Amino acid sequence: METGFALDPSKLGKADPIQPDETEEMTSLKARARKELSVTPKIEQKYGGENRFYERFLLARDNDVEKALKLMKKCLSIRESLKVDAELSKQEQEAEEEVFSRIKPYWPLEFWGFGKDGSTILFGKLKNIKPKKFVDTFEVNEIKRFYVHFVHEGNELQKHSNSPSMRQTEEGKWKRQIEVFDLNGISTKQLHMKGLKILKEVLGLGQHLFPENVERTYMLNAPWFFSGAWNIVKHALDKETQKKSCDI
């Protein structure tokens, strides 16, 4: 890794990522999404740029335009229900920032910069999770909004990892996120059923909101009892995402 510390994406400045080549399916999806779903350039940029936005949904649905449009509709519906893109008043923004600042100490995940191939690295020591206290302290929608905000920070990093300064060539697929979760030290006390159900719900949210975001997930030092928790959580993930996870 190029960095061995938590990285703040906001300090990297603006990135202008190289966009995937536009395909026939992408052109079709773009035209329909802008007409039928009122997709705006602002939303496209939040997902990596114009072509990358449409590529995500097509890859997640095997280049089937109709299915990709359906997934996109679900994504935008969730964003609207959580008021992700709503214009907040100064008072509302300050209130949300205060909630996020209280959630952050409970959040075990941090962006650690970029790997050798330029992929973004997300790292977390899961022994630091206190599921019961977490779900008893915050509302589910507060956790969901924080999660969406956090993943968008990762998207900003992906823009940098796909910018001309970090890509040797304009060819090649989009560099996505590598996730590394260290399970050393976790205990059965952390297998809190309500907490696991909310985690499953949040991960399911990510499947609809951020398709094709992850390249690979590594789980380090998994104890014998972890399989029980994983069997509960993994059903929120589609089969392709499950295939990207492995124990080391």
Which of 244, 240, 247, 2 has the alpha carbon at shortest distance from 121?
2
Q: Which whole number is the average pLDDT over 116-136?
A: 86
Check residues 51 and 196 and name the one with the higher pLDDT. Answer: 51
Q: What is the pTM of this model?
A: 0.84
Contact 103, 97 (CB under 8 A): no
Rounded to the nearest integer, the mean pLDDT of the chain is 85
240 pLDDT band, cuts 50/70/90, is low
Q: Which whole number is the average pLDDT over 91-107?
A: 93
Radius of gyration of the chain (CA): 18
- Of 132-136, 140-144, 178-182, which range is least confident? 132-136
Alpha carbon distance 247, 74 (integer Å): 31
CA dihedral of residues 38, 160, 10, 241 (deg, nearest 10): 70
**pLDDT at residue 1 in the model:** 34
Q: Which whole number is the average pLDDT over 155-179?
A: 82
Q: Which whole number is the average pLDDT over 57-67?
A: 96
DSSP helix/strand/coil, 198? helix
**pLDDT at residue 34 in the model:** 97
- Percent of the chain residues topping a pLDDT of 90: 45
Q: Which whole number is the average pLDDT over 149-178?
A: 83
Count of residues making up the chain: 248
Regarding beta strands 120-125 and 109-114, do their DSSP bridges make them parallel or antiparallel, or are they unpaired? antiparallel
11 pLDDT band, cuts 50/70/90, is low
148 pLDDT band, cuts 50/70/90, is very high
Contact 19, 57 (CB under 8 A): no
9 DSSP 8-state letter: G
pLDDT digits (tens, 9 = 90+) for 180-236: 989 898 887 777 777 777 777 887 788 889 999 999 889 888 887 777 666 656 655
Alpha carbon distance 33, 40 (integer Å): 9
Q: How many other CB atoms are found less than 10 A from the CB of residue 65?
A: 21
Q: How many other CB atoms are found less than 10 A from the CB of residue 101?
A: 9
